[in-house]
Amino acid sequence: MSAAGSPPMIEVSDLWKAFGSLQVLKGISLEVCKGSAVALIGPSGSGKSTLLRCINLLEMPERGRVRVGDQIIDCARGKLPPDKELASFRARTGMVFQLFNLFPHMTALQNVSAGPLFVKKLPAGEAKELAMALLAKVDLADKAHAYPSHLSGGQRQRVAIARALAMNPEVLLFDEVTSALDPELVGEVLDVIRSLVEEGMTMVLVTHEMAFAHEVAKTVAFISDGAIVEIGTPRDVLEQPQNPRTQAFLARFHSFARTFAGTT
Amino acid sequence: MTAVTYNWDFSFLWMYRWLLLKGLGFTIVYTVGSIVFGLVVGLLVGLLRLSKSWLVNFPLVAYIEAFRCTPLLVQIIWFYYAFPVLVGVDIPAHAAGMLVLSLYTGAFYAEIFRGGVISIERGQWDAARAIGMRHIQVLRRVILPQAVKRMIPPFINQSIIQLKNTSLVSTIAVADLLYQGQLITSATYRPLETYTTVAIIYFAILFPLTVGAQVVERRLQKSD
């Protein structure tokens, strides 16, 4: 999938992960080229969120290799690399969560500036300036001093995106970021992600928004039972799936099917 | 049935006011001292208990449960009378008293700390780690500021109980408030007035504290 000449930005090879006796990932390999978006779709419990969490090592795979940019982590038997190495690895990737996970004791501004301030050790003034700029980017400059409990779900998620961007990551990981939102708030979050795609941000999205995946992703991977069953362009995977499991899964998204009927 | 006609007379206690005050002083010193030492012990043990290592956890759990599952009175007597035999060193009563009170309340504090930290949602750890914070930074910047808020009410409760607990050191002749009451009683043969006064002094100190604790608790709830 990588463009000729340049190596992919993310390279996951032969990743295995189990929780107790439950094997969640069964030898997954995936490449994401710089500036492209990959959407991971699949039934719940298929392992797509776990795969995402393995890419920034929030979960430690017991076997396999993860490379982001020029930093490689080789996993053997789930043994954790030193805390410092893990932290620096994670700082290269930004992650946005389904339940926002904003820090409730910090304002929107403090949430966004926490990374630059405490991890990158930027001077307070610079960190604040950066955070303000990012809040403006997600259209929340006027909410800079609000605590998360005073923000709507959509606003919280946009703050969370700004917080991830504040570390100037090479890659963004989105973990079902609209699943916990009221339907009328989904659009504002997707708009922000869309603009990031247009800016050429490399990203991996776990999503149930098939129409959105179709629109922004360069590659769609259907994951089922801990393995990538089908991978290709959105057109191939979402409109003309070859694998019966992909077909069965997508059949449930009738509205999607209607939306794209006739576009082939 | 004869009516109880007891002639209450508190006036003699005025003579013993300095003794009672001295006793109260001891009670407060033991309370504050054991809270401070207990806090140090509790913080260390509570945070170490977060370790996943069985080797670290086993002795700490043993300590906590030993102190939580035996009566404080038994612990005080054991440390004063039995422990010196075991180690061959005499421990003065005031040291034994302070030691046991601190270890006892430290065990409870440890559980309060641990409980506060593990009550914070996993997503907070995830989010803090995802922006590259190291373990200690996650604790300091994200987890503890939230956890401390949840720890404050049980911490205040435990500390209030601790003031009452100090009365048990009177059994090993530490000159606290209750012990002075016993001395006065044996000199005056007026236990009713003496122990009533002692009880009132404890109440007069603790009641405002419990009211204060409720105010703090309500404020913390509001700020959520």
DSSP state, B4? -
- Min Cα–Cα distance to chain A from B202, Å: 37
- What residues of chain A lie within 8 A of the CB of B132, using their CB? 87-88, 90-91, 115, 119, 167
Cα–Cα distances in angstroms (integers) from residue B51 to residues A79, B37, B106, in the given order? 16, 22, 18
A104:B146 CB<8 A: yes
Indicate whether A262 pLDDT > 80: no
- Min Cα–Cα distance to chain A from B122, Å: 9
B146:A163 CB<8 A: no
Nearest to A194 by CA among A90, A69, A53, A39: A39
**Conformational region of residue B216, where left means phi above 0, alpha means psi within -120 to 50, and beta covers everything else:** alpha
Q: What would the pLDDT profile of B129-181 be if each residue is shown by its tens digit?
A: 999 999 999 999 999 999 998 999 999 999 999 999 999 999 998 999 999 99
Q: Can you give the length of chain B in residues?
A: 224
Confidence of residue A264 (pLDDT cuts 50, 70, 90): very low
Average of per-residue pLDDT across A63-74: 91
The beta-carbon neighbor of A114 closest among B131, B134, B135 is B131
Average of per-residue pLDDT across A206-223: 94
Under an 8 Å CB criterion, which residues of B touch A? 121, 123-124, 126-135, 137, 141-142, 145-146, 149, 224
Indicate whether B224 pLDDT > 90: no
Indicate whether B102 pLDDT > 90: yes
Q: What would the pLDDT profile of B109-143 be if each residue is shown by its tens digit?
A: 999 999 999 999 999 999 999 999 999 999 999 99
B132:A84 CB<8 A: no
Which domains are seen in chain B, by residue range? 11-222 (1.10.3720.10)
* Token pair for B42: 């509790």
Where does chain B show beta strands of DSSP type E?
none
ipTM given for this complex = 0.90
Give the H/E segment covering residue B21: helix B17-48
Q: Quote the pLDDT of residue A261.
A: 55
Nearest to B208 by CA among B156, B166, B170: B156
Question: For chains A and B, what is the number of CB pairs under 8 angstroms?
Answer: 69
- What residues of chain B lie within 8 A of the CB of A103, using their CB? 124, 127-128, 142, 146
The residue of chain A nearest to residue B140, with distances taken between CA atoms, is A118
User: β-pairing, A202-206 with A71-76?
Assistant: unpaired
- What residues of chain A lie within 8 A of the CB of B130, using their CB? 56, 58, 90, 93-95, 97, 164
Indicate whether A116 pLDDT > 50: yes
The beta-carbon neighbor of B135 closest among A83, A91, A105 is A83
Nearest to A192 by CA among A165, A219, A152, A211: A165
Angle at B100 between CA B97 and CA B104, to 5 degrees: 140
Indicate whether B75 pLDDT > 80: yes
- Min Cα–Cα distance to chain B from A37, Å: 19
The residue assigned the tokens 């991977």 is A221
Q: Would you say A213 and A238 are in contact if contact means Cβ atoms under 8 Å apart?
A: yes
Indicate whether B67 pLDDT > 80: yes
B123:A87 CB<8 A: no
Instruction: Tell me the whole-structure pTM to 2 decimals.
Output: 0.84
Q: Quote the pLDDT of residue A24.
A: 94
A104:B130 CB<8 A: no
The residue assigned the tokens 């909410």 is A143
